[in-house]
Structure 1
Amino acid sequence: MTGEKILVVEDEKIVALGIKRMLKNMGYIVPSIASSGEEAIKKAEITFPDLILMDIMLKGDIDGITAAQTISDRMKIPVVYLTAYSDDKIIQRAKETCPYGYITKPFEESDLRATIELALDTHKNEK
């Protein structure tokens, strides 16, 4: 699958640019990068991507889990979480939003590709 739009939500600029490069190499379109939960919601409403890669721990008043829930409720866009944190409380909160995947950083490009393809395919089949 190629050509799908993926919004990257990551507050570490270097990490976000690395993810963007990986996605472009895989054939995906990255219409925008957001660095906060508030910005993620706004950019999702503007770009209406096919998938969102969402960091859980973000700067600002809204974390990635809250932003993902808002986006899912309003726009039904699938979300895959990216995080360096994997404690039980965070995982439980994340699970409650019914994400399409969960990747722990650092990750390999092949893991990212497989997770994205499964998420996009699952979302397509649900429609």
Structure 2
Amino acid sequence: MSNSSIMVVEDESVVARDIRNSLLNMGYRVPAAASSGADAVARAGELRPDLVLMDIMLRGEMDGIQAANLIRSRFDIPVVYLTAYTDEETLGRAKVSDAFGYLLKPFDDKELRIAIEMALYKHQMERRLQESETWLKTTLNCIADGVAATDSEFRVRLFNAA
């Protein structure tokens, strides 16, 4: 999915520049970099990138996990974490944040590309699933007769309003 737009959120300018250069060499577009959580949320809203690469430990009041949660909930943009931290608390917070990946620093270009491509693909599949579910619900609710679907143990899994 080259030519995808990727925003980099990293508070160390040298690291941000290296990541940006790697992404450009891989064929991705990098419309912006942000160095704080608040800036990341604002820029994600303005630019609507296809993906955000997010450092977890950022300067300022909002860390990367908090920023990622806001970006995901407000704009439905997938986030891949880039971090040197592997402590249980950080990992636990990252796990429940609905991120699309967790890449440990230092990483090489191949690892970065794989994480990006997997995240972009997963997000694309999520969107397709949501569209299918919406279509199914709409279709089901337009049927005048009562319809119910059960699982193998005869538990009702879905039904219409009729």
Q: Which residue of 2 aligns with 1:43?
A: 43
Structure 1 stretches of 4+ moved >4 Å: none
CA distance in 2, matches of 1:34, 1:20: 11
CA deviations 1:55-113 (Å, max 9, x no partner) are 00000000000000011110110000000111010000011111100001000110000
Give 1:123 deviation, angstroms: 0.4
Q: Which residue of 1 aligns with 2:144?
A: none
Q: Structure 1 residue 4 and structure 2 residue 4: aligned?
A: yes
- Count of residue correspondences: 127
Q: Which residue of 1 aligns with 2:87?
A: 87
Give 1:126 deviation, angstroms: 0.9
CA distance in 2, matches of 1:18, 1:4: 18
Q: Structure 1 residue 53 and structure 2 residue 53: aligned?
A: yes
SS at match of 2:97: coil
SS at match of 1:103: strand
Q: Which residue of 1 aligns with 2:125?
A: 125
Q: Which has the larger radius of gyration?
A: 2
SS at match of 1:27: coil
Tell me, which stretches of 5 or more residues in structure 1 are unaligned? none
Return the TM-score normalized by structure 2: 0.78
* RMSD of equivalent CA atoms: 0.5
Tell me, which stretches of 5 or more residues in structure 2 are unaligned? 128-162
- What is the identity percentage for the equivalent residue pairs of Structure 1 and Structure 2? 52
CA distance in 1, matches of 2:75, 2:45: 8
CA distance in 2, matches of 1:53, 1:66: 14
SS at match of 2:115: helix
Return the TM-score normalized by structure 1: 0.99
